[in-house]
A and B are shown apart, each in its own frame.
Chain A
C-alpha cells in the first residue's frame, strides 16, 4: 500500500475510535507530552495501562468469585481502573467502571458480575483497537513516513 494511502487509513481509523466513543479527547493529550527524550511515551503509557488492567481484571474476577464478596476489596480495584482508563482516554472502559462502582456501593453481587463482563468487553475492545492503531503507525514509520499530530477533520 502506498504511504499516502496508509496515512489516510490511519487517520480514518483513529477518527473512528473517537466517533465510536472508544477514546475521548484525553487520548489526544498524550502525544503532546511526547518528545525526543521520550519518543515512545504514548506506547509506554498505553502498555502500562494494558499490564495494569490485565492484573486488576484478574484480581476483580477472583474477588467476585469468593463465597462472600468483600466490597472493601472490590471497589478500590474498580476505582483504580476507572482512574487509569480515564487518564489515557479509554472512555467506554471508564464509563463501564462508573456503573460498576455504583453497584459496588449497593453491594449487588449479581449486578457486579454483569458489570465486570461489560468492563472486560470494553477493555478488550479498546486494547484490540489501540494495538491495531500502533501497528498501522509502525507500518507507516517502516515505510519511511512520519506520524504527524492527528488531524481528525471534525
Chain B
C-alpha cells in the first residue's frame, strides 16, 4: 500500500497559486525510500512512495494520479522498473520518470531502461546535487 507525506498549496506573491513538486518514489528498499523522501522534501517537494513497480502502476490505474516526477528503481520484485515504466507510458502517463540504476548496471541495461520510456537515468545513491539540475529543468519547463 503506498504511503503519502502531507503537502500543502502555497500562495506566491503573485496571484498565481504554485503547487509543490509532487513526486512518486518507487523502490523496494525502505532505507532508500526514506532517503529519497528526505531529499525531495529538502528541495521543497512532497512525495508518495510505492514498494515496487506494480504498486506504482496501480496508483495510476484510476487516472487521477498526477505526479510531476517519478523516481523509478530498476530492480524490484513483482514488477521491475523497466516493465513499470513501459506500462506507465502505455497508460499515457506524462510525468518525468527518472530511472535509478546501480553502478553495476552495464550500458546495455541502462539503454534498455531508457528506451522503456525514461526521461533520465541516475545512478544510486541519489543526492541533492544529482537531482537538483533535473528538477530545475522540470520546473522551468
Q: Which of A's residues lie within 8 Å of B, judged by CB?
A: 26, 29-30, 32-33, 35, 37-38, 41, 44-45, 48-49, 52, 76, 79-80, 82-84, 86-88, 98, 101
Taken together as a complex, chains A and B put the C-alpha atoms of A33 and B124 apart, in Å, by: 16
Q: CA A33 – CA B41 in complex, angstroms?
A: 9
Q: Considering the chains assembled together, what is the distance between the CA atoms of A87 and B32 in angstroms?
A: 7
A87 to B125, CA, bound (A): 5
At the interface, yes or no: B75 with Cβ under 8 Å from chain A?
yes
Q: Check A33 against B30 for contact (C-beta < 8 Å).
A: no
Tell me whether A84 and B29 are in contact (CB under 8 A).
yes
Q: Which residues of A contact B75 (CB under 8 A)?
A: 76, 79
Structural contact, B39 and A45, CB atoms closer than 8 A: no
B104 within 8 A of A: yes
- The residue that A83 contacts in the complex, of B34, B42, B102, B128, with Cβ under 8 A, is B102
Q: Is B29 within 8 A of A83, CB to CB?
A: yes
Measured in the bound complex, the distance between the Cα atoms of B104 and A26 in whole Å is 17
Complex interface: chain B residues within 8 A of A45 (CB):
31, 34-35, 38
Least CB distance from A21 to B in Å reads 17
Is B125's CB under 8 angstroms from A52's CB? no
* Contact B38–A86 (Cβ < 8 Å): no
Complex CA gap A49/B127 in Å reads: 17
Chain A neighbourhood of B124, CB < 8 A = 83, 86-87
A83-B102, A86-B125 as given contacts; A35 in contact with B30, CB under 8 Å: no
Minimum CB distance partner of B125 in chain A: A87
Contacts of A41 in B (CB 8 A): 38
Residues in chain B near residue A49, CB distance under 8 A = 31
Please judge, given known A-B contacts A45-B38, A76-B75, whether A32 and B128 are in contact too, CB under 8 Å: yes
